[in-house]
Structure formats: structure tokens, C-alpha cells
Structure 1
């Protein structure tokens, strides 16, 4: 739109009271969002799967924040080699590990590490994916083509394989380095979801009206486009937390993830696999916690997706 047409549009807006219509458009936009989430909450309240996932997730968050509350006050690093690989008992609910440490306390404290990596990875993936997807979808053209090809390159690298190679050349493998490796090879789905949503939303009337009235690109993206484009990303993010927790556990199981003395479910499974025939509790309990955690996030994500889908009653 050239300057004369833009000025004419502004003049017409003032003469016809169109600014009020634009504000009404923004109000309708906000009402639509509120209605969408309100209807979604009504559906979620009736979902058994959502409540199962939400309750398990809440317990995991509490377990990660205050593990000593769940560990019965037992120090997970208080070990006695003479008690190595004891079977579960009234004194040691999950038995003991190779060093004679209380295994129940170790599994409980492992929730903090696993959940931290899952959340850090998802936050990083959302930052990178939303930024690149918003730029590609809004500006289009050559920038979109370059960013799309750049994304395709990373899509060709499997998450676990890419993270494994990156961590292999890393001298110190901590929560931060493992999370960074997962972010590096895990942001592409979020980018594509945001890009497709932005492409569809940027043609909306309220976005075009904001452009005519001279709103900045930043304001249009932040105020008008992204709030409406993030719904599918939030669903993906919920499921992705479980995916990244499982990925970290797989890396630790392969000996490429976290290192001792870190407490991670994957690392515990890795250390216990050689004793599975004589001490199955070393694998059973961390594997059970890992499976239930991943299942909880997947169920929550599926329930959220169904609730936000207007085609579903």
C-alpha cells in the first residue's frame, strides 16, 4: 500500500468512526480468546485423562521442589557399602543401590533433575521456535525461504542422534549442557507450528487494520498475531516436556547424558541394567517413575489438544 492509499485509509477510518471498529476488532479478538479457553476449561474439567496427568504432574513438581518432604528425611547420599543392593523392605522401600544408598530417596531426588531438563528444554525450544517461526511467517519471501531451508537441515537430524554427537564432544555433561543439546535439535516442530499459524493469522482483518493505522511490526506480532498463534504450540509444549525427559533418560542410559554424582532416572537405569537378574529393583523403580511421568504429560497434552479443537464437542 502506497502512502496516498494509506493516508486515504486513515482518513476514511476517522470519518467513518473506523478506529472504534478497530478497537472493537481487538475486543472481539480478546473475547474470542477468552471464549476459546473458557470452553476448553469446561471440557478439561470433564476429562479423566487430563486430571490424571495434572495430578501426577503436580506431585512431580512438588517432588522436584521439596524432595526431602517425599524422601522421609533420608539423605540420598548417606551410603553404607555393606548394605549394597538390598532388596525392598520396610526400612528401605525401594531397596538400596550399588553403594548401599537408600534407593527410594535416590529415585525421589531424581525427579528434580529429570523435570528440570524437561522444562528447560521446552522453554528453550519455545524461545527459538517461536522467534524463527514468527519472523518466517510474518515477513515471508526470501527470509521465509532461507529460514525454512535452515529448519529442514535440522529436521533431517534425529533428536537423540544429534544430541548424542554434540554431548560426545562436550567435556562436562550437566543439566545445562544436556538441555542445550536437546534444544539445538528439538526446536523445529515449534517453528513450523508458529510459522503456519502466523501465515494464516496475518491476513486477518484486525491485523490489516492495525497495519493501516501505522502499528509497528513488533506491536502487531506481539499484540495481535502471537497470542492467537500460540495455541497449537502450547499443546506441543505440554507433550514435549515428557519427550525431552525421555530423551534425557535415553542419553543417560547410553552413557552420554548426565554423569555421576547426578541423580537421574536414566542414569539409575543405566547403572542398574547389569544387575537386573539379581536386583531388578534397580531398574524397575526408576523406569516406573519415568514411564508414569512421560505418560502424564502426554495425556495432558492430548486432553488439551482435544479441548482446544472446536470441531470436537
Structure 2
């Protein structure tokens, strides 16, 4: 008969169990107690990341849900205004000047005899386009410059700080009156460019401070000790953990930029006809507020709801991403 192998030798099996076998048996036994298939941990028991944890909180926040639904509705009518207002916002009948609500025209008519409802719906496109594009431009420019200044420091940080101080000293309304008064374009892009020009320093300051904080964390020091380059450390370790404050500030600023566009259009230096804008309609209705208050009520109400929705969304995102509020 063949001799028993070493694995079949009871003495050796006991010896192995006495040395490391006991720990192996304990580990095997522990795996059988962990929920999940094949001894793997249950995905529900794994710790959530900052973003998944924030999304978990946002879905249960009524402020976020309400503001998000309003914003989605505004974005839809900004892209497809014909879905709820099939009329032409530039088609006017002077014989109906300042008339009140009528069948098919629930908001009445303005001074030129244009349908206020149609102009209010179509005005969402210009206002939201300015807000989204200006916020994206300011966030990208300010976030990039602030991240580089916070990461590299030195003369780059000092130069950015001095340039930011110069832009912080320029009043936004006065700067808009000077800068946009010489622009003859009737599109939204001069207004977007002006807002980006004066809006990036605030986001750059936030990004700089966030990068300075993240740069001192242990995982960044460990990556540097292991020989990781500056580009890898900045893109792989610092930016994903420093972008949350920038997103919060940009979300709140979006509503502010929409109101800034309306203010500049009200003063006559922002968007200009034939562009349809809430600011333009508010400006033309302000002189007739006693005789035809409906001309001012609807575009001003749409502007207020839009700005409030974005500010509420920013507050909800801030609460979800701030670990101090947990």
C-alpha cells in the first residue's frame, strides 16, 4: 500500500494547526459569518465616500428635491420654450398695448402689445444661459488658477493674490456700466465674458484655500514619499478632495449671476433687444407699474423663483458636503 501523504498525516496536520493553522481556521470561520456570497463583505456594509454620502443625504432633503425640480423645469423650458408657449415672443399688436389677461394670454400684454406669457417663458433661455455659462467659466478659470496657486505657492501664489485684490476692488455694477457700454453685440456672450472676468477671483480664493488644506493631509505626504510627481498628486489626490467647496460656491453664485444679468439688462448695458430677457422686460415695465402691474409681476416673479431655486440648491449641497454639519 502507498504511504500516506504529508497532508494525510494526522501528526503533521495537528502541528500545522498548532502553528499557523489555528489562525487559518479562525479566519475561515470568520468568513462564514460575514454576510454576502462567497465570504465577501456585503456592499451595504462598506463605508460610503464623501460623494455617495452627500447624495444619500440630498435625496432625503426636501429643500434639494424642490429646488432641483424647479431647476429641471426651468432648464426644460429654456431649451424647448415652444413646449408650453408656442407663440412668437417678438410678435406684437400695438392695439393690445397694456391689456390685461385674456383667453389664451393669461399674463396679458406689454406696452408694445407683446404677449407677456410668451416673453416670460422665452426669457428663461437667455437668463439661464448666462448663469450656467458664466458659472462654468468662472469655476474653471478660478478653480484652475486657485489650485495652482495653492499647490505650488511662491511667486505664483503672490501674483494671483495681488491680481485678485485688484479685481475685488472693482464694483460689479460700475464695471458692467463701463465695460458693456462700449459693446454693441446683442448676444449673451459679452455679458458672460464680463461676469467670468469679475467672478473668477472669488472661486480662485476658495480653491486656493481648499488645496492648501488638502495638501497637508497624510495621504498626500505618503504619495510624495513614494515618489509620485506633482501632476499626479494634484490630479489624483488633491483635486478630488478639494473640489467640494468650489462646487458649493459655484452653485450659489449661479443664482447671483442670473440676477446680475437681469440688473445689467435693466440698466440698459446687458442684453439688448431683440434678445428676450427678464431684465429687459422688467426695465420696460418699470415705468408702467401703476397702469399695468402685470407687465412687471410675471417676469420679476420668474426671476425671483429662479434665483431662489439655485440659492436653495447651493445651500442644500453645502450642507451635504460639509462634514462639520453631520
Q: Which TM class, normalised by the smaller chain length?
A: 0.7 to 0.9
Aligned to 2:190: 177
Paired with 2:208 and 2:63, the residues of 1 have a C-alpha distance of 30
Q: Which moved more, 1:82-91 or 1:264-273?
A: 82-91
Match in the other structure for 1:23: none
Aligned with residue 220 of structure 2, among 190, 193, 207: 207
Separation (CA, whole Å) in 2 of partners of 1:196 and 1:311: 17
Q: Does 1:157 align with 2:170?
A: yes
Secondary structure of 2:287's aligned partner: helix
SS in 2 for 1:311: helix
SS of the counterpart of 1:275?
Answer: coil
Identify the residue that residue 68 of structure 2 maps to in structure 1: 54
The structure having more radius of gyration, on CA atoms, is 2
Q: Given the alignment of the two structures, is residue 132 of structure 1 paired with residue 127 of structure 2, yes or no?
A: no
* Equivalent in the alignment of 1:166: 179
Is the CA contact 1:159–1:186 (under 8 Å) kept in the aligned structure 2?
A: no
Cα RMSD, aligned residues only: 1.5
Q: Which aligned pairs between 1:31-46 and structure 2 lie closer than 5 A?
A: 35-46=49-60
Deviates more, 1:242-251 or 1:202-211: 202-211
Matched, 1:291 2:298: no
Which residue pairs with 1:22 in the alignment? none
Query: 62, 71, 90: which one pairs with 1:77?
Result: 90
Residue equivalent to 1:216:
229
Of the candidates 191, 198, 217, which is equivalent to residue 211 of structure 2?
198
- CA–CA distance in structure 2, aligned partners of residues 168 and 74 of structure 1: 32
1:246 is aligned, of 259, 282, 290, to 259
Deviations 1:91-117 (A, max 9, x none): 211111222221101110000000000
Which of these residues, 81, 94, 99, is aligned with residue 107 of structure 2?
A: 94
Give the CA deviation at 1:153.
1.0
Contact conserved, 2:124 with 2:277, CA < 8 A, in 1?
yes
Note the residue ranges of structure 1 that are not aligned, 5 or more in a row.
1-30
Separation in structure 2 between the aligned mates of residue 35 and residue 274 of structure 1, nearest angstrom:
54
CA contact (8 A) 2:186 2:273 kept: no
Superposed displacement of residue 171, structure 1: 2.7
Post-superposition offset of 1:86: 1.4
Q: Work out the number of aligned pairs and report it.
A: 281
Contact 2:186 2:274 in 1 (8 A): no
Deviates further, 34-43 or 198-207: 34-43
